[in-house]
Amino acid sequence: MSSLFRIRRGFTLIELLVVIAVIAVLVALLLPAVQQAREAARKTQCRNNLKQMGLAMHNYESAMRMFPKGGPAISLPDSAVANPTPANLNAWATMSRYASWGTVLLPYLDQGPLYNQWDMNLWYSQGSNVPLAQTRLAVFICPTNPKSQDLKANGDTPLSTTRLYGRNDYAGNWGERNLRCHPARCANSHSDQNDSAGRGPMRLLSESAVGVRDITDGLSNTVMLGEAPNAIFGQWAGHKNLMDQSAPLNGIISSTSPWDSCRPFGLVTPEGGLGCDPGHQDFHSFHTGGAFFLFCDGSVRWLNQNIDLKTFAGVLSRKGGEVLGEF
């Protein structure tokens, strides 16, 4: 009968603490692996976005015999759109109205219906184009970017909370300045060839168009697009979404930086920010150790942030004649 009154023994406090400790260790071991797997998936999506844009670029070039331009080198404040008087919007700016490279690629990115509604007689920030320019397009968004907002302000009025447009985490390669001659300074041009236009394949409206035939350094050696999340002009419909690299890849804003363009610049480029030049207008990414770039042959390649500066300058040039090693 004594067995009927046997008391069942439970866990002791020490045993419970041991179990909890084992679970905590397992979680600590698994969590980094889960995070790495998630980042690997995000990097794959980011790479695929550039691959899609590469196909679109070549389809556009086949049809137009030129790669798309980046837009006019003008400022477009909100006042010029809301009240386009001669004082706010001069005749040159009106004549220089131009659709961005992100806009003209829409038909080649399965966005034909959106493109067909676009009014080429208006800026992206005017009239019926405004709601179109506010469309979130996944192909222009890198999921590694920690910012969740799909809309951002016009780069000429970066603190605006009312004039917001669909963001673009990628930018065109207009060339580079200073990298090839650091610590000296040099301009973004092929001045040795009497060419004052940007060194890259993506051009401003006033510069001559570039096609496959004009990239004499080789399509596989020349960058077309690269990552630039949160850049001040990072809107897919915007008018200045081009980069002329002025500092190393993934440069950090610091008041003690040896690079002038990496010094703090007010609210748009604060201390500790990622991506140099006022408004993060240099190539950079939130991936660890480097960034993805689309080359003119349609390939997408990872560039390490410690890439040799002259090599980096070489891939940002379309006809510099640089001899490039492995990168």
Q: What is the DSSP letter of 265?
A: B
Whole-model pTM? 0.87
**How confident is the model over 282-323, as pLDDT tens digits?**
999 999 999 999 999 999 999 999 999 999 999 999 999 998
In which element (H, E) is residue 175 found? strand 170-176
Among 14-28, 71-85, 216-230, the range with the most confident prediction by mean pLDDT is 216-230
Spatial contact of 284 and 291, defined as CB atoms under 8 Å apart: yes
From CA 31, how far away is CA 4, in angstroms rounded? 47
* Cα dihedral across residues 133, 138, 144, 147: positive or negative: positive
Q: Quick count: other Cβ atoms within 10 Å of Cβ 234? A: 25
pLDDT band of 88, cuts 50, 70, 90: low
Question: For 22-71, what is each residue's pLDDT tens digit?
Answer: 888 887 777 776 666 777 889 999 999 999 999 999 999 999 999 999 87
CA distances for 175 relative to 120, 130, 179, 226, 297, angstroms: 27, 30, 10, 12, 17
Q: How far apart are CA 238 and CA 123, in angstroms?
A: 9
* Mean pLDDT of the residues in the chain: 88
Rounded CA-CA distance 250/72 in Å is 26
In 3D space, the residue among 172, 156, 178 whose CA is nearest the CA of residue 261 turns out to be: 178
